[in-house]
Amino acid sequence: MSIKTTVLCVAMGVAAGLMPGIGSARTYVDIEVAPPALREEVVPAARRGYVWAPGYWNYRGHRHVWVRGHWVRARHGYHWVPGHWDERGNHRWHFTAGRWDRD
Residue 12 within a domain? no
- CA 87, 92, 88, 63 dihedral sign is positive
Reported as a single tens digit per residue, the pLDDT across 27-69 is 666 899 999 999 999 999 999 999 999 999 999 999 999 999 9
Residue 1 within a domain? no
Residue 49 within a domain? yes
Helix (H, G, I), strand (E, B) or coil at 4: helix
Residue 9 within a domain? no
Residue 52 one-letter amino acid: W
Residue 90 within a domain? yes
Residue 85 within a domain? yes
Residue 69 within a domain? yes
Determine the structural domain holding residue 97 and report its residue range. Answer: 29-102
Residue 7 within a domain? no
pTM of the model: 0.69
Count of domains in the chain?
1
